[in-house]
Structure 1
């Protein structure tokens, strides 16, 4: 292991410089398996209540005493826009009719809430070893409260400008998220998708721009990807899609099937599911409504009106309206055991040198 990776592992209490990307959906068993294997397991908290976060952490700690990461969103809530939401509902009306649904009966979907004082209290109570943020950082007073707990703080950057912004605010390490990555883009200084670049170009530029550990993310699914990232100067890698393919993730049947069948052209960036750009496997919703839909309600309101159609389709065994998050490395996701994958990403990379 290089001095750079060894220093990162010592700083974060890890055996391997491998982070399981925080993803909404996988079971706590996945994060526990990664942490127990010496990597950093992550729990995505943006769709949870404080009590749910508390329960997830208890489940993880019942399986391992190794370090783990709690991830939160740091977006700003958008003001309600009834006209835009009504127009979006009209676009979805044919799908409601197809499934025999009443568009007047739409239950609120799960909220994607930004980090707030309530979650800051949970962090102070649970004291996770690591806290990470997506879509920038919370307000300075909230960030200071996290820092006071002694947690290490990670921020996600999709450009060099975002990396410098995060570094100026004192994060402990920066996740450089290439455009290949599955799930939501972490962009926050600009919404220009044309300015998003790939991992191979982003990582070394971020390494040159900031004086702190850089974590490579996006398109990394096997030892070759992690070896390349380390050669570019990354101190660690963050991997999502390959972990989704592991048994411990407990994916839904429709998501698991789509992931198993994915090829190199299977994914695209889309805004139809939440209102923010995210990479997922192409399906009917993306083809019919986007994949980029400028008229979609602001994040996360786009998901609310689509939820009944999604549920009806899933009840029939279809992923036509499901956000099937996955990165461009999906066809490389071959290992089903999370501990084995964690070791392969680190030890396999060392053997490739």
Structure 2
């Protein structure tokens, strides 16, 4: 399959609560290209969800993974972070937080499960998968897509042989997908990033960040994008399994509530500000994925308790443009109106 054969409207891969077979399949079945954010899924779970997607649709889909992150365990910093979480654990009726036994899934095992699932596209964020890995995946018939937050990353990914690059603008929700320099040094808006990558690269560029309706789609196409990836707008789709507290927080959020934070995971990410992001603003935290694993019990308990103050409310800056709860098919159709054949 060629990239040009895929739909122009992509659902950005969203790990965590939004990683749902029903949502991915609904997007694919309605003329879009759905992707499963599998970064937090075990290899066995990747196989299960991929099989569920195939049971729901005959259309192609993608699977996204986080590239392995270099990090050093820092128990002193981790214990300090756990002490910050302790009062919130108490408020939620949880036992005092403890050091996680495991911090992340095994990337190679996840990738093996992804290959076995045979998606049309395997995409990566937070790194360059490398020329050897890209060549091996392409030899097996996969389309390979990388993520760039600046031109230098796009050039490196192109040199590694990827089929396309997602241009993740500053406006995008969730974790920043860049990997060169500092995250703060690559906060480039979609309107500025897309044309620079289009001019610098000889492969397709997929625009992501701040696109929530047909106007955003049209603007991305005018800038030279070959497709668009939309994430936040799909969070409020009927098929997205967000907790009621998360959904309510998104519906109530104003434009000024959008924030960049490391509070929940240790890595810069965009979401709706809440008690945790405000309390930990500017705090010196251990490196990702240590806080991500340490805060998971709190986040899960808060979701069950309906308390959005302790949930990582990932969402992009265009959130207020798309409030309506509706089937994913309706959103795909509305977005597609912005793309000129």
Q: TM-score, normalised by structure 1?
A: 0.90
- Worse overlay, 260-269 or 322-331: 260-269
Aligned residue in 2 for 1:226: 217
How far has the Cα of 1:114 moved from its partner? 6.2
Aligned residue in 2 for 1:300: 289
Aligned residue in 1 for 2:317: 328
How far has the Cα of 1:307 moved from its partner? 2.8
1:200 partnered with 2:201 = no
1:135 partnered with 2:126 = yes
How far has the Cα of 1:112 moved from its partner? 4.1
How far has the Cα of 1:36 moved from its partner? 1.1
Secondary structure of 1:247 counterpart: coil
In 2: Cα distance, 1:167 partner to 1:194 partner? 21
1:139-186 deviation per Cα after TM superposition (whole angstroms, max 9, x unaligned): 544333322211001100000111111111111011000000000000
In 1: Cα distance, 2:136 partner to 2:288 partner? 26
In 2: Cα distance, 1:208 partner to 1:148 partner? 28
* RMSD (CA atoms): 2.1
In 2: Cα distance, 1:46 partner to 1:19 partner? 18
How far has the Cα of 1:327 moved from its partner? 0.2
In 1: Cα distance, 2:49 partner to 2:94 partner? 33
Work out whether residues 77 and 114 of structure 1, in 8 Å CA contact, stay in contact via their aligned partners in 2: no
1:62 pairs, out of 43, 46, 55, with 55
1:350 partnered with 2:340 = yes
How far has the Cα of 1:125 moved from its partner? 2.2
In 1: Cα distance, 2:107 partner to 2:235 partner? 25
Once the two structures are superposed, the pairs formed by residues 312-323 of structure 1 within 5 Å of their partners are: 312-323=301-312
1:36 partnered with 2:26 = no
How far has the Cα of 1:34 moved from its partner? 1.0
Q: 1:66 to 1:152 in 2, by over 3 A?
A: same
Aligned residue in 2 for 1:22: 13
Moved over 6 A (4+): none
1:45 pairs, out of 26, 35, 38, with 38
Once the two structures are superposed, the pairs formed by residues 229-308 of structure 1 within 5 Å of their partners are: 229-290=220-281, 292-293=282-283, 295-308=284-297
1:81 partnered with 2:71 = no
Aligned residue in 2 for 1:91: 84
**Alignment length, in residue pairs?**
338
Work out whether residues 279 and 325 of structure 1, in 8 Å CA contact, stay in contact via their aligned partners in 2: yes
In 2: Cα distance, 1:120 partner to 1:89 partner? 31
Aligned residue in 2 for 1:310: 299
How far has the Cα of 1:251 moved from its partner? 1.1
Secondary structure of 1:96 counterpart: helix
How far has the Cα of 1:235 moved from its partner? 0.7
2:163 pairs, out of 166, 172, 176, with 172
Work out whether residues 12 and 152 of structure 1, in 8 Å CA contact, stay in contact via their aligned partners in 2: no
In 1: Cα distance, 2:110 partner to 2:301 partner? 32
1:205-254 deviation per Cα after TM superposition (whole angstroms, max 9, x unaligned): 11000011110000000000000000111110000000111011121111
Work out whether residues 179 and 198 of structure 1, in 8 Å CA contact, stay in contact via their aligned partners in 2: yes
Aligned residue in 2 for 1:341: 331
In 2: Cα distance, 1:166 partner to 1:211 partner? 11
How far has the Cα of 1:280 moved from its partner? 0.5
1:162 partnered with 2:153 = yes
Q: 1:298 to 1:121 in 2, by over 3 A?
A: same
In 2: Cα distance, 1:311 partner to 1:32 partner? 25
How far has the Cα of 1:191 moved from its partner? 1.6
Work out whether residues 173 and 232 of structure 2, in 8 Å CA contact, stay in contact via their aligned partners in 1: yes
Q: What residue ranges of structure 2 are gaps of 5+ in the alignment?
A: none
Work out whether residues 131 and 151 of structure 1, in 8 Å CA contact, stay in contact via their aligned partners in 2: yes
Secondary structure of 2:119 counterpart: coil
